[in-house]
Structure 1
Amino acid sequence: MTASVSVVIALIAGIVVFGTVGDLILSRTMKQVGKDELRTWRDALRLAGRTLGAPGFYLGVACMAGAFASLLAALSVAPVSLVEPATALSFVLNTLGAQFLLKERVSPTRWIGTLLVTGGAYLLFF
């Protein structure tokens, strides 16, 4: 089955956007609920309970499910050698989100690595 280029682009955009939003929401949520150290199974169970009580957890999981559904659809109409490299844009969006939305410190070295990975994936299209 062959899909139009616009359909494949839309599905890849769904993977990237839903996946990035899900990653950022889950990261923020887990930082809020998981500040304790995990030393015992009891600590892990308490963390699981706090996680299940956090609305952000469900929103993040829903976004990740959207990304996975988009991935499945993309793989049904386009080759994996196109779909997976195209999703490398999520590295840049995740790093931007980490720095500007989550206020994480992103070192220049990490930025260079992010851009190299994304650039390498881009080269696969030629």
Structure 2
Amino acid sequence: MNLRKYLVVAGVTLFSAIGDTLLSRGMKQVGSISLAHASHVIWAIANPWVAFGILFLLGFFACYMTALSWADLTYVLPATSLGYVFLALIAKYHLHEQITATRWLGILLITAGVGFVAGGSELTHDPKRSARSKHEAVGQPVSLRGDR
């Protein structure tokens, strides 16, 4: 994986953790809302913390789509799970949440799982996928029977 790809995965991780933190802080200020009342949702979005959280989550979504364009979902999703570590640290030190030993153990297990996934290939080779992409690029019909 090259530096640009590492930066995209890091962007997914950081945008997600920061966006979720900002959203949480804003929603604690807003209080309980109901989807049955659209005005509550609009009022919540007007909160600066919620609005910035949404912007960061849009950044997450853009990076996530970019990562999925060159890597398998089974590689990208676990790699982005490192965000749980950042999220826990931000929640503990910025939101002053109490994180139990059980949660820290869960975060450690997630991190270990990311290590296993990162050791593998970012993209598995699928001849059908390659043929489909090649034909779609030139506007030709796709045949997956192997007779082309």
TM-score, normalising length: structure 2: 0.72
Compute the displacement of 1:37 (Å).
7.8
Identity within the alignment, % = 34
Tell me the number of residue pairs that the alignment of Structure 1 and Structure 2 aligns.
119
After superposition, the Cα gap between the structure-2 partners of 1:82 and 1:50, relative to the gap in structure 1 and judged at 3 Å, is: same
The correspondence of residues 77-88 of structure 1 with structure 2, limited to 5 A, is 77-88=70-81
Compute the displacement of 1:88 (Å).
1.4
Question: Structure 1 residue runs of 4+, over 6 Å off?
Answer: none
Residues 1:67 and 2:60 are matched in the alignment: yes
Bigger Cα Rg:
2
Compute the displacement of 1:17 (Å).
0.9
Compute the displacement of 1:75 (Å).
1.2
Mapped contact 1:24–1:98 kept (Cα < 8 A): yes
Q: Alpha carbon RMSD of aligned pairs, Å? A: 2.0
State how far apart, in whole Å, the 1-side matches of 2:90 and 2:110 are: 17
3-state SS of paired residue (2:118)? coil
Q: Deviations over 1:79-115 (max 9, x none)?
A: 3232211111101011111111100111111111111
Mapped contact 1:8–1:74 kept (Cα < 8 A): yes
State how far apart, in whole Å, the 2-side matches of 1:50 and 1:103 are: 25
State how far apart, in whole Å, the 2-side matches of 1:90 and 1:49 are: 28
Residues 1:110 and 2:107 are matched in the alignment: no
Q: Greater helix share, 1 or 2?
A: 1
